[in-house]
Amino acid sequence: MKYKEALVIDETTLGTRDSKGMWVPNRRCDFGPLFARPTRLVSIVRWFVRDYLISMHLLYFAVAWAVWTWATPSRETMAQLAPGWMLVVLGRNLLVVIAWFGAWHLRLYRRQAQGTATKYNAKFPQNSQRFTFGSQLKDNVLWSLASGVPIATAFEVIGLWLFSSGRIAWLEWTQHRVAIVAIALLIPIWRELHFYAIHRLIHTAPLYPRVHALHHRNTNPGPWSGLAMHPLEHVAYFSAMAIHWVVASHPVHMIFNQMHLIMAPVPGHAGFEVIDLGRGTFDTHGYAHYLHHKYFEVNYSDGVVPLDRWFGSFHDGSPDALKNLRSKRSISVAGNTQ
C-alpha cells in the first residue's frame, strides 16, 4: 500500500523541479575541505568530526563490528576451509543485504512514504524489456543476491581463512592500537581510490558494452540498483577487499571494507537527495552519482578525494557544468566525423 506521511522536508526550499519533473538540489556536489586550497585547518577538523567520523562510515563500521562479534565463526573453525562455516558467512551476508536494501526500497518505492519529495526523477522505475524478467526490481534483486553477495562472500571467506590460518598478519588490539584505528579511518578513502580506478576501467570501450552496461541499464536507479552488476564487475568491485591479504590489518577491517562495499551503494542509488524520517531528515549526497547514471562519463567517484576534478570528469550539477559537458561532447562528435 502506498501512502504519504506528513513530511519534515519541503523540497522547494532545497532545490527546483523543472517542467519534465527533474529535481535539482540547490547544493552543488563537492568533495569537502581535505584537499581544498588554501588549506583551512579549522574547516578540515570540523568536517572530519561532523562529516567523516559521525557519518554513514560509523554505521557501516558498527555493522561490521556486530557481524564480526556475533555472526562470524571462531578463529579455530575458519583455520580450515570447510563448507559449513562458509555457508554461515554467506547466509549472514544475504541477511544484511536483504534487510538493508529491502528497508530502503520498502519505504521509498513500495510505500512511497515521502512521495517524490527530493526525488531527482519524479517518475518511479517502470518495467522494461531491457531488464531481466522485464522488471527493474527483479533484475536488480537477481544480480545483487545471485552474483553480488556470493562474490563478496568469496573474497571474505578467503580473507578469513588467510587470517585464521596464520598465512597473513593479524594485528592484535593490545599491541597495535594506533595502527588499527588508522587503518579503519583510511578504509573509506581506499574505497574511493579503488572504485575510481576500476570504474574508469570498466567504462573503456572493450569492457563497457560487455560488463558495465548491465549496471547502466538503471538510468532511473533505485536502492537495489546499487549492486546490480555483471559478475565480472562484482569481481572487480569487491577486489577492494584483497588489500587485506597483503597489508597487515585485523579481520574486522576487512569486514568493514566489505560492509562499506555492500551498504554504501544504497544511498547513492536511492534516487532521493534527502530522506524524510518523520522526526528528522537524512542527506544521501547521492546527486553526484545520479548524474553519473544520467550522463555516463562524469562523476566516476565521489566523497573525499577529488579525483574527478583532477582528471576532468567532475560535474557539480550546475548549469555551467552541463554546458561544459555538452561542449566536450560536441567536440568529440566533431572529431569523430573528420
Q: What is the pTM of this model?
A: 0.94
Instruction: Quote the pLDDT of residue 280.
Output: 86
Nearest to 241 by CA among 257, 229, 226, 219: 257
Q: Going along 145-302, which residue ranges are E strands? A: 274-276, 281-283
Q: Quick: pLDDT tens for 6-17.
A: 577 899 999 999
Going by pLDDT thresholds of 50, 70 and 90, the confidence category of residue 132 is: very high
- Report how far residue 288's alpha carbon sits from residue 129's, in angstroms, rounded to the nearest whole number: 27
Cell of 65: 563490528
pLDDT, position 1: 46
Q: Cα separation of 143 and 265, whole Å?
A: 14
The C-alpha atoms of residue 338 and residue 327 are separated, in whole angstroms, by 17
Instruction: Give the residue among 218, 87, 237, 212 at the shortest CA–CA distance from 153.
Output: 87
Closest Cα partner for 72 from 157, 192, 175? Answer: 157
What is the spatial distance between Cα 290 and Cα 226, in angstroms, rounded to a whole number? 11
Q: Is the pLDDT of residue 239 over 80?
A: yes
For the chain, give the percent of residues with pLDDT over 90: 86
